């Protein structure tokens, strides 16, 4: 059987053990046929992000050891679709219904006693268990005397109201699908229409993935994570991280990697420190756990901006000061940035992003509620990620660090003293520990910072879609909250046309930022929305594939409340 679907449809809707509708029937995906094994992957970043995403299941023992295996170095294979081979599917469940008399048959071409000759329908209910992830076809009893069964639908989607009876003697054989225990011994199966969202929820991962190993190596040779961190905290003044002089800590790590003794390293660093411009003057001092997170997000920024970063300063340089565009970039853009509490918006023309799925759950969508079933490698060795790797366009948005620091202090969060943008960024990094996506909100600096950056990103994404004239689902977010920033990028789904974000950046950015600050910020569902956290589908939520935090850590009050970020001067 051959059917055509787009690559993005397959990535999100044709994954192993997922049921799909094809040619009027129900099918289960067995696997992608001969997918391409990709080697140009930033494996460390991918592993780290999958662990972060899977931690809620690990915390409650519902990941079958997945996170522990990844920490132990279990191999991860990234697969992309081979469009010439497609996807292998099989009929599921294997129960077909005569459209005339509603008899149930085991094969689609069985001769029905009623004499009807037309194509049969297919039973669309399946059984699943959230505690182990199993999927089973319903067992349908037959009349012990006549060996036939007819299904009677009640006119609703409730599985408990469905009746099975003998079409010959009218004997009722069963109502509903029964209480069927799962083989795992942890409870009964639930029965739902196969397309119900509770039957299959893919769990995805998104990372900035450079287009080649050479780019990954270039970051390492430029000084690696410490240099990326220093570059970001200094305000990204050079176009790429490669243009920044090394710091003392970066050189120390490089020399230690070469096996030099500590006393020799100290002497070499002292000599380098006396040379004008040879070393950056300051290193960022953070506790080890916080430093690792800060460096990981800084590397994400460095990789994303290495190929094609266009700054507003570049637009200014390329235009005559007295021209219409020159005045737009110098005056109106600058004013809009200040009003919106931003220090910069950059265009990334070739944003290298990997969007993939590492497993699935059944039942409750909430992370940690049902069993996480990772996609396992051949013969159970290692794990697989089904992915799309693309270069798209993105806007990189950074909040004003001094305004964020003031907002945090005004909200009662203690920060170290700061006096400029660099020291404000350092003070925030020292104080912030980001919560996970499933942690309950608390009064910590990290939770407040995440809620601010996340809420701003969602408002930016929703309004950007309007100004670019595209479907909101065609955009996604990638947060780097420790560095007060986020990426809004064209996703690998929807009908997005490349160039939409570029057009907004080059001519409409001031209108977009003004809309973020001044457009209606109340919710159509107020006061109920405000009473329930001030974030809902009508005001801040976006589609779950677009949001890395499951629409949590969001609030309009963070932006527009009495002490909201966009209310402050």
pLDDT band for position 272 (cuts 50, 70, 90)? low
Omega cis (within 30) before 93: yes
Is residue 495 predicted with pLDDT exceeding 60?
no
pLDDT band for position 277 (cuts 50, 70, 90)? very low
Is residue 394 predicted with pLDDT exceeding 50?
yes
Is residue 179 predicted with pLDDT exceeding 50?
yes
pLDDT band for position 224 (cuts 50, 70, 90)? confident
The per-residue pLDDT for range 456-485, each reduced to its tens digit, is: 999 999 999 999 878 888 899 999 999 999
Is residue 247 predicted with pLDDT exceeding 90?
no
* Helix-helix angle 445-468:509-518, to 10 degrees: 120
The per-residue pLDDT for range 526-555, each reduced to its tens digit, is: 999 999 999 999 999 998 778 878 898 999
- 230: which residues sit within 8 A by CB, 6+ positions away? 223, 244, 247, 250, 280, 282, 283, 284
pLDDT value of residue 42: 87
pLDDT value of residue 7: 77
Mean pLDDT confidence for 15-30: 93
pLDDT value of residue 5: 80
The per-residue pLDDT for range 349-368, each reduced to its tens digit, is: 999 999 999 999 999 988 88
Mean pLDDT confidence for 35-62: 91
- 33: which residues sit within 8 A by CB, 6+ positions away? 82, 85, 86, 87, 88
DSSP calls for 351-388: EEEEEEEEEEE-S--STTSS--EEPB-GGG-SEEEEEE
Question: Phi/psi zone of residue 553: left (φ > 0), alpha (ψ -120 to 50 degrees), beta?
Answer: left
The per-residue pLDDT for range 283-294, each reduced to its tens digit, is: 677 887 788 899
pLDDT value of residue 498: 65
Which among 499, 493, 475, 487 has a CA at the least distance from the CA of 304?
A: 487
Task: Give residue for tokens 């996703």.
Answer: 491
Is residue 136 predicted with pLDDT exceeding 90?
yes
pLDDT band for position 281 (cuts 50, 70, 90)? very low
pLDDT value of residue 222: 59
């Amino acid at each position: 059987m051959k059917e055509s679907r787009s690559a993005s449809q397959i990535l999100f809707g044709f994954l192993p053990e997922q049921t799909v509708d094809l040619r009027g029937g129900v099918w289960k995906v067995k696997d992608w046929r001969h997918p391409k094994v990709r080697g140009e992957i930033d494996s460390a970043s991918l592993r780290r992000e999958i662990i972060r995403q899977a931690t809620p299941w690990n915390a409650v023992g519902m990941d079958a050891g997945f996170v522990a295996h990844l920490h132990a170095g279990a191999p991860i294979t990234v697969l992309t679709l081979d469009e010439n081979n497609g996807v292998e599917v099989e009929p599921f469940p294997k129960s077909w219904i005569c459209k005339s008399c509603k008899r149930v048959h085991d094969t689609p071409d069985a001769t029905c006693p009623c004499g009807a000759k037309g194509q049969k329908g297919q039973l669309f209910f399946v059984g699943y268990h959230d505690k182990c992830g199993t999927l089973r076809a319903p067992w349908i009893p037959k009349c012990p005397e006549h060996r036939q069964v007819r299904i009677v639908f009640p006119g609703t989607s409730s599985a408990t109201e469905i009746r099975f009876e003998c079409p010959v003697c009218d004997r009722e054989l069963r109502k509903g699908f029964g209480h069927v225990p799962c083989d795992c011994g942890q409870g009964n199966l639930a029965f739902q229409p196969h397309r119900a969202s509770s039957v299959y929820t893919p769990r995805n991962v998104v990372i900035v993935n450079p287009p080649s190993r050479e780019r990954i190596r270039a970051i390492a040779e430029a000084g690696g994570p410490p240099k990326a961190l220093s570059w970001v905290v200094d305000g990204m003044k050079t176009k790429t991280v490669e243009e920044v002089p090394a710091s003392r800590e970066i050189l120390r790590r490089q020399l230690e990697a070469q096996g030099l003794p500590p006393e020799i390293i100290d002497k070499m660093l002292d000599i380098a420190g006396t040379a004008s411009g040879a070393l950056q003057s300051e290193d960022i001092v953070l506790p080890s756990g916080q430093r690792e997170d800060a460096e990981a997000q800084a590397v994400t920024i460095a990789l994303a901006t290495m190929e094609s970063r266009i700054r507003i300063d570049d637009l200014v340089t390329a235009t005559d000061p007295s021209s219409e565009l020159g005045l737009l970039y110098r005056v109106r853009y600058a004013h809009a940035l200040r009003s919106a509490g931003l220090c910069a918006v950059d265009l990334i023309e070739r944003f290298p992003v990997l969007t993939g799925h590492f497993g699935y759950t059944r039942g409750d969508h909430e992370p940690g509620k049902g069993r996480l079933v990772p996609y396992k490698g051949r013969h159970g060795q290692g794990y697989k990620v089904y992915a799309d790797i693309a270069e798209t366009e993105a806007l990189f948005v950074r909040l004003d660090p001094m305004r964020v620091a003031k907002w945090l202090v005004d909200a009662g969060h203690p920060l170290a003293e700061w006096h400029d943008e660099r020291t404000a960024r350092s003070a925030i990094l020292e104080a912030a520990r980001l919560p996970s996506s499933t942690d309950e909100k608390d009064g910590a600096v990290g939770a407040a910072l995440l809620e601010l950056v996340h809420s701003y990103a969602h408002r930016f994404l929703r309004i950007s879609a309007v100004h670019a004239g595209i479907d909101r689902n065609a955009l996604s977010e990638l947060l780097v909250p420790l560095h007060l920033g986020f990426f809004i990028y064209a996703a690998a789904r929807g009908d997005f046309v490349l160039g939409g974000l570029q057009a907004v950046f080059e001519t409409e950015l001031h209108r977009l930022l003004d809309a973020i600050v001044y457009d209606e910020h109340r919710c159509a569902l107020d006061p109920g929305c405000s009473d329930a956290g001030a974030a809902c589908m009508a005001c801040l939520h976006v589609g779950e594939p677009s949001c890395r935090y499951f629409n949590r850590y969001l609030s309009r009050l963070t932006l527009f409340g009495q002490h909201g970020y966009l209310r402050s001067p």
